Each structure stands twice: as structure tokens, then as C-alpha cells.
Amino acid sequence: MQLSVIAQWVASLFLSVGISSLLAYSPAMALQAGVMEEDPSPEFNPGSVVGNPFIPSPIQITWRMENRFGVDADQDGIIDVPNTYEYANVKDTGCPSQPEEKRKCEEIPPGFVVYFDSVGSRLHDHSFDPPEEIAITEYLWSIRGIKDEKTFRTPKFGVRLQQGRYTVQLTVKGINEDGRKISRTKMEPITIRDIVFVALGDSFSSGEGNPEQRKLSLVEIFRLSPPHSENINVAEMTSAHWAETGPKWNPTISKNRDHARAHRSTLGWPAQVALTLERSDPHTSVTFIYLAATGATIREGIIGPHQGALDEVPGFLKPQLQETQEILRGRSVDILTMSIGGNDAGFSSLITALLKTVGTDRQLGRREKATKNGKWDEILEAFWWTGGKDVNADGLDRLPSLFNTLAEKINSILQPRHTYILGYPDLTQYRVDGHILTCDHIGDDVLKVRFNKKIDDEEAAWARDHFIRPLNQVIRHAASRHGWRYVEDRAQWMTPRGYCGRPLYSIEEYTGHQFIASGLFPLSRRQFDSIVNREELHSPRWWRTAKESVRIQGVEPSEDVGITPDTVETTGMFHPNEMGHQALTHLMIQAMPEWFER
């Protein structure tokens, strides 16, 4: 698939600053022993040199940990998100089936793959003035700090190591012109560290609205496929494709259906932050557990089970805290990120009320009451818009106590070192002719055909002042009480790029995972700033509209009704698009200097 218009647009912006090459990631090797003689990558990143790379040294020890997140083991262009105990605890699943070989393989202690290289090493004969360089004929490595000290006799090698501190020694040998043996030795301390990154929360964390692959129309399917092809899976191609677990992914297995039920995507900001962290330092790796899910609340989602985005399909997602505990089984959490509280406060019911009821002063007063007590049925039932579903929520008034309960659960189950919670960005404003205005036609594509209803500028301003800001205030206070770091859009990167902004591209050009596979995402900070700092009279939209959501991941609505409350595939609307998630990515990175400024 070729890059889309947005990819070409983003690439064109980088010409003035240059596109930073991202570290290549390769499929994890199927290791059947504790030692690998060769590093699969042709070269090391210069940043992996131990010591000061600018001071010439006769012997160089370079090393890196193998990436654990960002791997595409089945080489289908989509990053793997295993979410398994075996992945989190570095258990080798590639052992041979033969009993004896399997036993030997399974006896190898699990560990993180670390590659060492002597690249740049030189050997000199100092009996000459100036010293003469001689060829290296022998390499001897040793690693101290493990139970049985290992030695290796190759220029480069790989080995499994547990987290901790080690001393690596490299001796190089050669023979001078007189036949005399020359040797030099260097020792370096190293620390092996794997960072456990867990992402919980709702649709603002799951990547809702940004599937790995968009759904195709029947016309597109038959245009792209050979005539009369028997290999076309129409049902699969007419559905959006969400994150996958890797080579053993099978849509018929319930475990692998979780990503689809949760609407998880590696375009979501948590995955993008984890990927940036993984690629930022060759001396650490990142184990990423992604459990955020569309529709999640504190009660139903994080603490208790819930149905996810597929509420019409039987089945439930496990409580996110419980599943995290089952996956990690004792491993400590270094980074915990969340976005939660919007569904608890009644976000979807608020949108429904604003779109489908008359916006009189009296109605606005009733809506404000509902935002606090969560009783949306009193408004929506009068307009026959409940669809037989429970539209009530806990409301803003009960949200503080829910956060207290959540904090207790997190502290008792996970005890993370650092917790970050995202405030909800504002979608109600956009830039026109250099001025920031309030959107006057939010959601005009939801019920356009029959009702021609929208959220006007008065209603949008009301929602901003009476729901978005109070909600974020509750989250901010909860973060302060419980020692979490609250992250918000202080730079207002998303404020001028709200729902009413101009589209980035024709929606048929959406390429999903290709943004990552092509190397465009995650954007570097310099690349992102070059976009944000552009002087634009009319800013592009960094939010997903209802029409876009339907075209990307949903079923086309009928012409006479438009999108109805039962069209669950439109869950992508009113969520950040892929550029919105890049903004949230850099907001979070900016709030995590302890991880990115090491």
C-alpha cells in the first residue's frame, strides 16, 4: 500500500529539518540456547558505544538490548502487542518439540537478549614510535556477574542476561612483525534494565478511531483483487483491523479477540510513547502491556469486566487490573498510564443529549444537572433516544470517590513506580483566519439526513465550560491526592485543531499502521514542532468525525436515517485522529523527563 496524502504532507514538512532515521526493529530471534554467535543487525547505533565515543580508544565495547516492543514477528507491517504472561516474563516459546532438546531449552533461564560488538577496536604495537596498528587475530570476551562466567571468542555475540549489573571484559590479541604476541584488555560495567510499561483506561488511550487497517468497501475489494479470486475474505476486508498479538494471532481464539473488542491500535498515544521510549536508548528495553479499552469506566473496565466496543457480541474483557496482574505475575510496574473518567461522567450521553434534544435554556439547565448526578435518562427518554440502553452514568459528583477507590486498587495490586493520568483535550475550538473560534457544527454529519441536527457554538461552549473543564479539574485533584502526575494540553497543541477544522486528507487515503511501518510515526519532537509551529490561517482537524469513523471502521448508514444510536461502529467519532495522538504522545513524553532525559 502506498503512503497516503497525509504521509506525503507530513514528509514534505520535514524537508527543512530532515527526517531522523528511526532505529530498525527486526523480528525476535527464536532462541533455542542462551547464546547467539551473531547479532542480526549489520551495525550498531553509534550511541551504543560504552564510554565517551568522541575520545579515541584502542578497544571499543558496544552493546545493546534487543527491542521487546516495536517487533513485527510475522512481518505483516503491524507491530505485535502480545499481552501474554510468556511475553512479559521473557519465557521462550520457541523450544524444539523433541523431549530432550525441549528439556535443555526450557532449562535455560529466561533473560533479555543483549548483543555485544567489538566494532571500532584497534590493536597497536607500542614498541614502534609512533605505534603501528596490527591485525586483530583473536577476541576473548568474559561476562562477570552471572552464575557461570561465560567466555566468547568472536568479534560479536549475543547472550541472554537477567536484569542487573555486570562487568564485561574484552581482550584482543594479535602478532606483530617479529612474531611477538600483543594483547590489550578493556573492562566496562553495564546495567541490564527492562522497563515495564502498562497502559490502562478508556477509548482515549486505546486508540479508538484509528485502526491498524481501515475497512474497505466492496467496490474497493473487487477493484484491488483479481477477477473471480477465491482468496478474498470479504468479511475480514469489510471490517477494520485492530492490534494483533503476533505470529500466533488467530481471530477465532478469544484471547486474540480482545484487541478487536477493545478497539486497540498501536497508533494510540500509549503505544507511541512506549515505542519512542524503546527506541530512545539501546541500553534498555520496554515490555509494553496494552489493556486500555473503548467504553471502559472505573467500575466496568478497570476494576470490573466490561464488553468493550462490541457490546452487541457476547463476551467480556477481563478487568484491566486483574489482567495486568495475571500477565505480570509479580513483575514490578515502572510506568502506568491512564485516561479514565470521561465515560464515568457520561461523555457519550452528553453528546447524545446535545445532538438529539432541543437546546433551550431549560434543557441546558437539565443537562448541567445530569452531568453532576449522571441521570441522563430523565432527558433522553423524553426524546426516545435511549435505544433501550442504560444511558445513566456516575456523574461528576461521584467521580472523586471513584478515583479514591481506583487508587486503592492500583496501590494494592500493582504498586507502580510512576503513574501518569491524561486530562481530556478540548475538541470544541478551531482556527479560522488566524482566530480561535468555537465550533458551530460539531456532529453535523451524525444525523444530517433526517434531522439536520448539530452541536452549535453555544452548546459547544457550554459543554467546554460545564463538562470538559470540570471533568479535568476532578482528574487533576485526584492526581494530586494520590501522587499521580496529571498531564494536560498546556501548550494548547490541540485547541486550534478541533472538530470543525479542515480535514487532513481524503478519508480513503487513511493508511493506519503504514504510518509506523514507513518510519513517519512516532514523530520526533523536532518533526512535531515543525508542524505545530507553522503559521496557518486554517488549522487542520486532529479529531475523527462521524463520517470519517464510518468510512474507516464502520458500516455505512442507510440514506434515510443516517447514523443511528445502534450503529456501534461509529465509536471512533469525537476521538483524536492519528495526528491528535501524536500530540498526546508528545504531551506525555514532555511530562516524563525522568524516562526520556537520562
The predicted model gives 236-243 an average pLDDT of 75
Round to whole Å and give the CA distance between 169 and 66. Answer: 20
Confidence at residue 202, expressed as pLDDT on a 0 to 100 scale? 99
Of 31, 281, 34, 334, nearest to 162 by C-alpha is: 34
The two most distant CA atoms of the chain are separated, in Å, by: 100
Confidence at residue 19, expressed as pLDDT on a 0 to 100 scale? 33
Confidence at residue 220, expressed as pLDDT on a 0 to 100 scale? 54
The predicted model gives 100-111 an average pLDDT of 65
Banded model confidence at residue 356, pLDDT cuts 50, 70, 90: confident
DSSP helix, strand, coil percent of the chain (3-state; round to 5): 35, 20, 45
Phi, psi values for residue 66, rounded to 5°: -70, 135
Of 205, 321, 219, 305, nearest to 580 by C-alpha is: 205
Q: Determine the distance from the C-alpha atom of residue 3 to the mean position of all C-alpha atoms in its chain, rounded to a whole number.
A: 21
Averaged pLDDT score across all residues of the chain: 83
Confidence at residue 16, expressed as pLDDT on a 0 to 100 scale? 39
Q: Are 428 and 442 in contact (CB under 8 A)?
A: yes
Q: Among the listed ranges 79-83, 103-107, 275-279, which one has the minimum average pLDDT value?
A: 103-107
Phi, psi values for residue 391, rounded to 5°: -100, 0
Percentage above 90 pLDDT, the chain? 61
3-state secondary structure of 474: helix
Banded model confidence at residue 11, pLDDT cuts 50, 70, 90: low
Q: Looking at the structure, give the CATH architecture of the domain made up of residues 195-596.
A: 3-Layer(aba) Sandwich (3.40)
Round to whole Å and give the CA distance between 75 and 247. Answer: 9
Round to whole Å and give the CA distance between 197 and 357. Answer: 42
C-alpha R_g of the chain: 27
Confidence at residue 103, expressed as pLDDT on a 0 to 100 scale? 63
Higher-pLDDT residue of 230, 576: 576
Question: Which residues, 6 or more positions from 47, have their beta carbon under 8 angstroms from its beta carbon?
Answer: 53, 282
Of 356, 351, 343, 363, nearest to 385 by C-alpha is: 356
Domain map of the chain by residue range? 31-192, 195-596
Of 444, 551, 550, 540, nearest to 501 by C-alpha is: 540
Round to whole Å and give the CA distance between 533 and 528. Answer: 9
Confidence at residue 228, expressed as pLDDT on a 0 to 100 scale? 45
Q: Where are the alpha helices (DSSP H) in 165-305?
A: 203-206, 218-224, 234-237, 254-262, 269-280
Of 570, 556, 574, nearest to 463 by C-alpha is: 574
Q: Among all chains, which residue has been given the C-alpha cell 486532529?
A: 542
Q: How many CB atoms lie within 10 A of CB 121?
A: 19
Q: Is the peptide bond before 130 cis (omega within 30 degrees of 0)?
A: yes
pLDDT tens-place string over residues 297-331 = 999 999 999 999 876 677 899 999 999 999 999 99
3-state secondary structure of 68: coil
Confidence at residue 91, expressed as pLDDT on a 0 to 100 scale? 83
DSSP 318-369: PPHHHHHHHHHTTPPPSEEEE--SHHHHTHHHHHHHHHHS---HHHHHHHHH
Q: Is the pLDDT of residue 432 over 70?
A: yes
pLDDT tens-place string over residues 506-535 = 888 899 999 999 999 999 999 999 999 886
